[in-house]
C-alpha cells in the first residue's frame, strides 16, 4: 500500500474522496467502523464494497450495507494489484480478485512527535470509530502543564479539519496572551 498511499489508498473520505469519486471503491475494515466508512463513501461512488479481511459482520450490519447499496466481501486479502500508485484490484487468498480503483483503510491517527508527552501532557486513547490519539486539553486548550497549550489536529479527537485547527489555534494563542506566559 505504501506506493499508493494518498493517491488511490487513503484514510479519510472527506479529505480524499472527491479525487477518487465515481471509481469502484473498497473499504478495508470490519465491524461498525467498516459499515460506517462504506456507507459514507456512497457520497462519492455507487460502487462500494466493504472488505472485512475475514472478519464476520452481524446480521444487522449486513442489513445496513444492503439497505445502503454497499457490497460485502469477507474473504481474506492477499494483496492489492495495479501499477505504481494506481489501484486496480484487491486480490484474495482464494485466488479471486475484486476490481477497485480506490481503497479507504481504517487507521489510527497517532501523534508524530512525543514532545507534548515528554513535557508531561497526557494523550487520549483512540476510540473505535474515530481512532485518533490526541493531546488532552481543556476548553481553553490548556494541557495541564503550566504554559503548555495544544491546538488543532494534535489536540482533537474528532476528524482532522483545517477550519477547526485554525479556530483552536486562535483560541490557544488568545488564552496564552491573556495568561501572560
3-state secondary structure 111-126: CCCCHHHHCCCCECCC
What is the per-residue pLDDT for 81?
93
Residues with pLDDT less than 50, the chain: none
Predicted pLDDT at 39: 94
Strand ranges (E), the chain:
9-10, 25-28, 48-51, 71-73, 77-81, 89-92, 97-99, 102-105
Could you tell me the CATH superfamily of domain 2-105?
FAD/NAD(P)-binding domain (3.50.50.60)
Residue ranges per structural domain of the chain: 2-105, 115-179
Q: What is the predicted pLDDT for the residue at 180?
A: 60
Q: What 3-state class would DSSP assign to 43?
A: coil
| Structure confidence at residue 112 (pLDDT) | 86
So what's the pLDDT on residue 106?
82
Which of 135, 171, 139, 140 shows the shortest CA–CA distance to 153? 135
* Cα R_g (the chain), whole angstroms: 19
Q: Are 70 and 49 in contact (CB under 8 A)?
A: yes
pLDDT at position 78, please?
A: 96
Amino acid at each position: 500500500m505504501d506506493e499508493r498511499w494518498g493517491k488511490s489508498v487513503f484514510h479519510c473520505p472527506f479529505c480524499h474522496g472527491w479525487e477518487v469519486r465515481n471509481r469502484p471503491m473498497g473499504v478495508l475494515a470490519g465491524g461498525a467502523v467498516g459499515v460506517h466508512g462504506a456507507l459514507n463513501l456512497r457520497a462519492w461512488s455507487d460502487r462500494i464494497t466493504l472488505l472485512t479481511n475475514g472478519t464476520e459482520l452481524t446480521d444487522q450490519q449486513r442489513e445496513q450495507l444492503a439497505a445502503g447499496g454497499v457490497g460485502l466481501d469477507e474473504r481474506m486479502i492477499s494483496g492489492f494489484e495495479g501499477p505504481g500508485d494506481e489501484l486496480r484490484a484487491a486480490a484474495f487468498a482464494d485466488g479471486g480478485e475484486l476490481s477497485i480503483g480506490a481503497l479507504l483503510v481504517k487507521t489510527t491517527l497517532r501523534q508524530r512527535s512525543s514532545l507534548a508527552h515528554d513535557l508531561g501532557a497526557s494523550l487520549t486513547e483512540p476510540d473505535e470509530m474515530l481512532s485518533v490519539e490526541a493531546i488532552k486539553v481543556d476548553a481553553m486548550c490548556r494541557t495541564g502543564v503550566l504554559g503548555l497549550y495544544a491546538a488543532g489536529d494534535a489536540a482533537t479527537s474528532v476528524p482532522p479539519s483545517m477550519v477547526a485547527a485554525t479556530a483552536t489555534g486562535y483560541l490557544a494563542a488568545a488564552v496564552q496572551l491573556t495568561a501572560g506566559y
